[in-house]
Structure 1
């Protein structure tokens, strides 16, 4: 198939540091190329890919000090997509909603993956205005707040099978928190859980400008007050393997409707079990008692830390291999592409074109 992948421009594909959506777009793109598909990636110019790259700007917007407004950059990218839309069998968008007015004439051969939360009231009138656009979710729970729309499928995220090595015997003796410092991610809970369980906690996370006050007033002082807590900051892909692989467990103490939670399957790939609060996608990702523990309270989480040795790290990795590889993700998306109305119609026309030729 000839496939266009339209990525966010905030980070490169793959991102140099934090950037869950761009990371998934990269993994999907490379796997599709590996399987022999003709893939064009619309992304920031500093992206690295085996696909045909259409550079939309010199570098990731978050890392470009001269960028003040992201919207003009997206409009320029979408104009390039519009001009070339007829070249592709399917166009896969990962840019939320800014492209919707553009694609109405060919929406039946597009899919838009929803990577964020969908429970915000401002979104409801928008999606009611575009009920025909095919959407894919990254968990079934993510869909629940939405009005009736054209769901094409749910596709769970996946990672390249050899990206993060399995670690049978972790050496660190610590609990890990990885991601972003924000109130909904609840790093405060992670600190309290580790302290109550008598364990060291390492926090590898970025602090966005919007979350700087939360760091300054809540998390920073907590880190300073707890000698068992170490704040590392943002880490890259190479550092992630060591950070997660040597952890006794990953704490995922969220307090929001998490659409997926990529860090959970990153930990699982290392064999590191996950202790996660029952929110959003967590029950769809974690097999309780196999790849981790799903908890409902702080007391449950503290007990889970003390029981983590009961889990077999090889079984944690096996759960990843069975459910969350990039190959499985790409195959699921290919099934979704082939079931789009516009793609099915084009496939029905192909034999007729061959006969007439």
Structure 2
């Protein structure tokens, strides 16, 4: 199958540092190439890929100080895709809705994965205007604010199985926070949880310009008051394996409708349990009492930290391998590509049998509870339900 992957230009594919969407595009693209598909990647010129690369700007826009406005570069990118659209069976966009007006006549051959939050009121009239475009969500929770649209799949993110190797022990003895310094990510909660447990906390995060005041007014003073909290800054992929793999647990204390949360499965790949607040996609990603604990308050998070040593890190890794590898992700997308192109790539299971119901519409979906397993009284899973208010 001939597939075009259209990535945002803010970061290269894969990104050098932070950049969740571009990272996922890279994992998907390389896995599709590995499986023998003909893939063309429309991305920044410094991207690294085994697919055919069509450079749409010289370097990633976020790290180019000369770039003041990203829109012109993305318009040029869409024109490059339009000129070559006839060469592909499927055009897979990861650029939100920017392509909708230009590709309306080709909508049935497009697929758009929505990577961001969809609860913003400005989005409803946009997606109402373009109901014909096939859309993919990255979690069921992401869908709920949307008007009726053409959902054709829910495909969770996946990582290469060997990207972040399994670590049998969190030998560093610290708690980890990885992501952005922003109010919705709640690094302040992470600092409070660590302070109350007496454990060291390492924060690896970037500070966007939009969050500079939050950093200087709230988070930096908290770090300065807590000598056991260390701020590392942004880290690359190699550093991430060490950072997450040596941690006792990843703290994911979010306070917003997280569409997916890539860092959760990055930690799981290392065998590192995740302590996450019950928001957005969290109950779909974390199996409570197996790959981590789902909590609803700082008190519950503190209790979970005390219990995290009871979880088997090998079971955390197995949960990742069963659901969140790049191979799993590619298999789901290929089923949807087949559906859109009207072809059969192989004897893969039909799309309606995929693990997160790619052809289900929002009204047909029941959100996972996060505790749909059997457990013995007193087991970590049973105690986890008590911690997260499910007892």
Q: Under a length normalisation based on structure 2, what TM-score does the superposition of the two structures give?
A: 0.87
Aligned-pair distance for 1:135? 0.3
- Counterpart for residue 316 of structure 1: 316
Q: Which blocks of at least 5 consecutive residues in structure 1 are unaligned?
A: 348-357
Correspondence for 1:167: 167
State the aligned residue count.
345
Q: Which residue of 2 aligns with 1:49?
A: 49
| Corresponding position of 1:66 | 66
Q: CA deviation at 1:171?
A: 1.5
CA distance in 2 between counterparts of 1:317 and 1:228 reads 28
Quote the residue 1:224 is aligned against: 224
Deviates further, 99-108 or 37-46: 99-108
**CA–CA distance in 2 between the matches of 1:37 and 1:304?**
44
Q: Deviations over 1:1-24 (max 9, x none)?
A: 000000000000000000000000
**1:344 Cα deviation from its structure 2 partner:** 1.3
Report the Cα distance in structure 1 between the residues aligned to 2:6 and 2:169, rounded to whole angstroms: 40
- Which residue number in structure 1 is paired with residue 342 of structure 2? 344
Partners of 1:346 and 1:44 lie apart in 2 by: 32
Give the TM-score, by structure 1 length. Answer: 0.96
Kindly report which structure 2 residues correspond to 1:107-118, keeping only aligned pairs within 5 A, or say none: 107-118=107-118
- Aligned counterparts of 1:267 and 1:170: Cα–Cα separation in 2: 11
Residue 138 of structure 1 pairs with residue 138 of structure 2 = yes
Distance 2:288 2:237 in 1: 27
Whole-angstrom CA distance in 1 between matches of 2:210 and 2:161: 34
Distance in 2 between residues matched to 1:298 and 1:235, nearest whole Å: 27
8 A contact 2:338–2:344 mirrored in 1:
no
2:29 is matched with 29
2:284: which partner in 1?
Answer: 284
Deviations 1:285-340 (A, max 9, x none): 00000000000111100000000011000000000000000000001000011112
Quote the Cα distance in structure 1 between the aligned partners of 2:291 and 2:42. 35
Question: Who is 2:272 aligned against?
Answer: 272
Mapped to 2, the partners of 1:141 and 1:134 lie a distance apart of 18
What is the SS of the residue equivalent to 2:320?
helix
Alignment RMSD, CA only? 1.0
1:346 deviates by 11
Residue 217 of structure 1, CA deviation: 0.1
Runs of 4+ in 1 over 2 A off after TM superposition: none
Q: How does 1:115-134 map to 2 (within 5 A)?
A: 115-134=115-134
Cα distance between partner residues in 2 of 1:346 and 1:264 = 33
Greater helix proportion: 1
For structure 2, the residue ranges without an aligned partner over 5 or more in a row are: 346-391
Provide the residue aligned with 2:209 in structure 1.
Answer: 209
> Which structure 2 residues correspond to residues 183-262 of structure 1 after superposition, within 5 A?
183-262=183-262
* CA apart distance, 1:345: 7.7
* Residue aligning to 2:77: 77
